[in-house]
Amino acid sequence: MQKHLRIMREMMPELSSQLDVIERKTGTLFTQSSFMQMRKDTCKGNHPVLCHGDIWTPNILWTKDDEGIFRLKVIVDWQFVHLGSPLEDLVLFFHSALSAESYRKK
């Protein structure tokens, strides 16, 4: 998080005061260790499974077969793979697959 805030400050110095507020309010919430602990906590009571960690629609590539049916070709962008809750990838995927209109309606 700190790295991203620093980059944003460099790109948009006019937002520096707002970014300071975000940094103060988030504190250690987004440290690597706290993030990994949150992921671990989602598995309590469940059996951890292999999670993609960034499974949203642009990371899923499809191919169209001879009958015109779309089939899964490959899932890309695996740098966040980890053991976690079986729900993590499902929630992220369904959230990313919503249309803007559906998202606004919640």
Residues 6+ apart with CB under 8 A from 23: 1, 2, 5
The beta-strand segments (E) located in 1-106 are 49-51, 60-64, 70-75, 82-84
More confident residue, 85 or 32: 85
The pLDDT assigned to 78 comes to 93
The pLDDT assigned to 36 comes to 66
Q: Residues 2-52: pLDDT tens digits?
A: 677 778 888 888 888 887 877 776 665 556 676 667 666 666 666 778 889
Mean of pLDDT over the chain? 80
d(CA 13, CA 15): 5
> Is a pLDDT exceeding 80 seen at residue 71?
yes
Mean pLDDT along residues 53-68? 92
Structural domain boundaries in the chain = 45-105
> Is a pLDDT exceeding 80 seen at residue 99?
no
pLDDT band at 60 (very low <50, low <70, confident <90, very high): very high
The pLDDT assigned to 63 comes to 95
